[in-house]
Structure 1
Amino acid sequence: MACSLPSRRFLSALVLLPAATLGACGQAIGTASAASPAPTAQVAAAVPAQAAPPIQKALFNPAVAGSQGGITSLAPLVDAVKGAVVNVEVRARPRRSAAMQRLPPGMAERFGLPPGFGGEGNGPARQGAGSGFIIDASGIVLTNNHVVEDADQVRVKLDDGRAFDAEVMGRDPLTDVALLKLKGAPGNLPAVPLGDSDALRVGDAVMAIGNPFGLASSVSAGILSARARDIQAGPYDEFLQTDAAINPGNSGGPLFNMQGEVVGMNTAIVGGATGIGFAVPSKLIQALLPQLKETGVVRRGWLGLAVQDLTPDLARALGLEAMKGAVVAGVNRGSPGERAGLREEDVITSVNGKPVESAGGLTRAVALLQPDSRVKVNLLRGGKAQSLDVTLGTRPAQNGEQEVLPRNASASAPRRLGVQLSDARDGGAQVVAVEPGSPAERGGLVPGMVLVQVGDQKIASVSDAAQALTAAKPGAALLLRVRMPGSESTLLRAVEVPER
């Protein structure tokens, strides 16, 4: 999975840390160039998790820590926290590609391909490994979404040799955060706390532990190199940058401060470079955890605006003295912003008293608020300060975004019908893909259609559709009402519900 840096020079250099592939790739470990001196390394004996001291505030004090040759040792900190750092191993069946989904039934065979080519269960299973860390003694683990996305089996290995199967409790693709629950865990596992990433200063010491290239419990250290990096990986980028060595396989692993608190989750690197890695801040993770634990997904507040940064030139053209803010470039029809009276050329300066310095800052601030919550938006209109009360909507899935269903809404029903859905911008569940030969295809569903009613139930979202389809009796002919894109009229479709 690749994403790009703002600079064209590094357009293809930035990559999310992939789960290190098991096998040949995992064994091909590069050696240091002869031109660069080999770094010295100390090998510490593994300490069983049971022997690790409990995590406490001010656990590690460099002023009193042991030292060798005048260099402060991180060994006490490593011994205290490494029992909570885990290896995450995944297996996934090959998925049918988007191109194969579009092939009509029998088309693959006509080209000489084996029956069902590209479907699930054909070809070798994908295997990979990443990192994670336990945040609750009952066996709650944080890792990256891209480590466990599409995984059919997840197994977590602890530093002391124990291993547990795990289920994905929740995940958020937009911030690359996922939450796991270990099955059969004893309830007294070593855990590490989430710290305050906002308290970090550039230059503060940090330490990473993870599973790079399958090398379990690898430790590296460095400093915080920069804060609030927008690497254009997603709409909510606010990464911590560090020069602590992180590599493929470190995905999902913790970045510690010197008190043994996790201040970031290692996520992305710049390919071909050294000393440039990125971590999701712990404060952002803390904001997502309640929803991930409760429903398994993150629902975000939404204003329905197109915004851009307030530049000095724009400020002068708008007759403003302010130099920071988000300029409203467009207002979506029927959106919460329109209903509240927001207009084009308004400059939003704060939300609920929190200053807004840029378009990205506004997007992140609103996304951390709950849908249906009422917020106060301060703005400048025609050079005059105003405030509006806005009731936020729910951010719809954008084009190309994967819709993640809540745990209380079954994802199996749409899969059984052979249809993939995402929330439609104007309400309903839009058909994204249809499996060839599936009940959905036989019933006349095609990509682009918007599902607005299942039986007698009105459909406003994917969650509604999943619940309605799950409640349908196997073998029944289910009546669907659909709308074509750009059309106000609806059509009827009948789909046979397959056996569970």
Structure 2
Amino acid sequence: MTQIHPDTRPETPGDGAVPPQGEPTAPVWFGQTQEITPPAGRTYEPARDDAAFGRPGVAGDPTRPGVAGDPTLPAADAHPAYPPLSQPPAGPPPSFPTRDGAEPAQPGKRRRLTELTAVAALAALLASGGTYAAVQVADGSQPTSVASTSTLGRGANAGPVVQADATNPNWTATAAAVAPSVVAITVKSAQGEAQGSGVIIDAKGHILTNNHVVSGAGPGTSITATLNDGRTYKATIAGTDPSTDLAVITLSAAPADLKPIAIGNSADLKVGDPVMAIGNPLGLAGTVTTGIVSALNRPVTTSAAESQQQQDPFGQQPQTGSDGNTVVTNAIQTSAAINPGNSGGALVNAAGQLIGINSAIASLGSSGGGQSGSIGIGFAIPANEAKSIASQLISSGKAKHAFLGVSLGDATASDGSSQRAGAQITQISANTPAADAGLRKGDVVIAVDSTRVDSALSLVANIRERAVGDKVTLTVLRNGKQLNLTATLVARASS
């Protein structure tokens, strides 16, 4: 099984932090090209569900070094480009994976394992880069209150919760319960259109989706949402958050019979739990796939370049971002098939409760035989994080993010009896949560609230998952001894 083992990377420039010596200093910037940073030697490929707005592709930037090559794996090729959605691809249909994500064996031919390419739920050409942002420098600002999340996914018209046992799920009942709460999103412009997915989260017509689904919507574009029963409504953007790849749109004339989804507690998930993905892959609304939770707390990095480009196989484009940040998600990994167009759709448990927003997949590059789309490795933003961000976007149109105030690198340290991998503190800024907690340069963080941290990226993902004002217990190794330090997270300056 392929695992994600991120390498050491510097902190985003502009926050006063100094990256570890020996590391590349060029970060990955936000913009239109989204990519997921994989372990050494594996390149995640960007993709998204935004429209073809006549933008050229991103060229590789030689100033942005990529992840060091893995000698055990060949280099991956970029996905081939296909026509826009209005022009179906010519030639034979795409090759779909088997249930476990593996392609059937071919007699007389031994397939080599190629680079994994992660995409924001819509396959795209390979983008350059390979660094990520460490935890941002604090600005000293205090947590601010946001709208309560208790009303999201609730109310008289809330979608029903299926009475099902995780050991014996009734997927027919689950699909019937959840389908009315999932919509197909279409973004149209003079140059073309794009399709994605979204989830109804309240009776007022607020729909949660991925930022990269709607970020291409500008002057002269329109957004519509089509309900499960075929009714289509105009929508406007209530707020976007490129840092978490989440957005909320609002139906302009929400009907009275909307069925908001029931939102579960993603903290209760366990590896092996059965899950269902439902969305609008390739424009096929209401598509349902099932699988299990393959892993939890999987650090996944996506980034974007400012240039606006036509990147994906169906004329759609990668994520847009303008703040220079990097999306780092403490993701749910699932074997449920997630394909182009599933972005922003629901990942639910056997009871029909939302536990994640589908946002990215891993796929093989063309050197692996040309297979794109799902290979049984998909990623979703945990529902708890999505719910918190959504409530802020509804309240103010933007979201605040927690941070620690350090620069990081990958390292191993002794706990007195064995070696432990973790995130090494390479610099601490004054008047930050890290400084107040007593962290020191050289400390190696190995856990956050008892959740294992085995890399710098893992620590970043754990911190970004939390809310402003949260208290976290950091388990660190210092001079062979294990210490527990408590930090109270504050808002990042760019928030």
Deviation at 1:144, TM superposition (A): 0.6
Unaligned runs of 5+ in 1: 39-52, 66-72, 93-123, 398-403, 405-500
- Equivalent residue for 1:323, pick from 420, 426, 429: 420
Q: Could you tell me which residue of structure 2 aligns to residue 18 of structure 1?
A: 49
1:322–1:283 Cα change, 3 Å? farther
Alpha-carbon distance between aligned partners in 2 of 1:291 and 1:256, rounded to the nearest angstrom: 22
Task: Give the secondary-structure state (helix, strand or coil) at the position aligned to 1:297.
Answer: coil
Matching residue's letter, 2:346: P
**Larger deviation: 279-288 or 229-238?**
229-238
Matching residue's letter, 1:362: L
Deviation at 1:264, TM superposition (A): 1.7
Deviation at 1:260, TM superposition (A): 0.9
- Equivalent residue for 2:401, pick from 289, 292, 300: 300
Matches within 5 A, 1:48-447: 55-60=159-164, 74-91=171-188, 124-152=190-218, 153-233=222-302, 234=326, 236-271=328-363, 272-273=371-372, 274-311=375-412, 314-315=413-414, 323=420, 326-332=423-429, 335-338=432-435, 341-348=438-445, 357-358=453-454, 359-371=456-468, 379-383=476-480, 392-397=489-494
Matching residue's letter, 1:238: N
Q: Deviations over 1:460-492 (max 9, x none)?
A: xxxxxxxxxxxxxxxxxxxxxxxxxxxxxxxxx
1:81–1:238 Cα change, 3 Å? same
Matching residue's letter, 2:492: R
Alpha-carbon distance between aligned partners in 2 of 1:321 and 1:136, rounded to the nearest angstrom: 50
Alpha-carbon distance between aligned partners in 1 of 2:166 and 2:474, rounded to the nearest angstrom: 45
Unaligned runs of 5+ in 2: 1-32, 54-82, 100-156, 303-325, 364-370
Alpha-carbon distance between aligned partners in 2 of 1:258 and 1:336, rounded to the nearest angstrom: 39
Alpha-carbon distance between aligned partners in 1 of 2:483 and 2:264, rounded to the nearest angstrom: 37
Q: Is the 8 A contact 1:17 1:269 kept in 2?
A: no
Query: What TM-score comes out, normalization by structure 2 length?
Result: 0.59
Q: Could you tell me which residue of structure 1 aligns to residue 314 of structure 2?
A: none
Higher relative contact order (CA 8 A, sep 6+): 2
Deviation at 1:371, TM superposition (A): 4.5
Matching residue's letter, 2:453: E
Q: Could you tell me which residue of structure 2 aligns to residue 3 of structure 1?
A: 35
Matching residue's letter, 1:28: P
1:341–1:26 Cα change, 3 Å? same
Deviation at 1:171, TM superposition (A): 2.1
Query: What TM-score comes out, normalization by structure 1 length?
Result: 0.58
Deviation at 1:389, TM superposition (A): 6.3
Q: Deviations over 1:202-242 (max 9, x none)?
A: 33332222212222222222333333333332553222223
Matching residue's letter, 1:131: S
Deviation at 1:147, TM superposition (A): 0.5
Matching residue's letter, 1:146: H
Matching residue's letter, 1:260: G
Task: Give the secondary-structure state (helix, strand or coil) at the position aligned to 2:356.
Answer: strand
Alpha-carbon distance between aligned partners in 1 of 2:288 and 2:86, rounded to the nearest angstrom: 18
Measured on the aligned residues, the alpha-carbon RMSD in Å equals 3.7
Alpha-carbon distance between aligned partners in 2 of 1:276 and 1:308, rounded to the nearest angstrom: 26
How many pairs are equivalent? 340
Q: Could you tell me which residue of structure 2 aligns to residue 425 of structure 1?
A: none
**Larger deviation: 229-238 or 171-180?**
229-238
- Equivalent residue for 1:28, pick from 73, 88, 92: 88
Q: Deviations over 1:297-316 (max 9, x none)?
A: 221222221123452xx327
Deviation at 1:160, TM superposition (A): 1.5
Deviation at 1:145, TM superposition (A): 0.5
Instruction: Name the structure where helix makes up a greater proportion of residues.
Output: 1
Matching residue's letter, 1:6: P
Alpha-carbon distance between aligned partners in 2 of 1:63 and 1:347, rounded to the nearest angstrom: 39
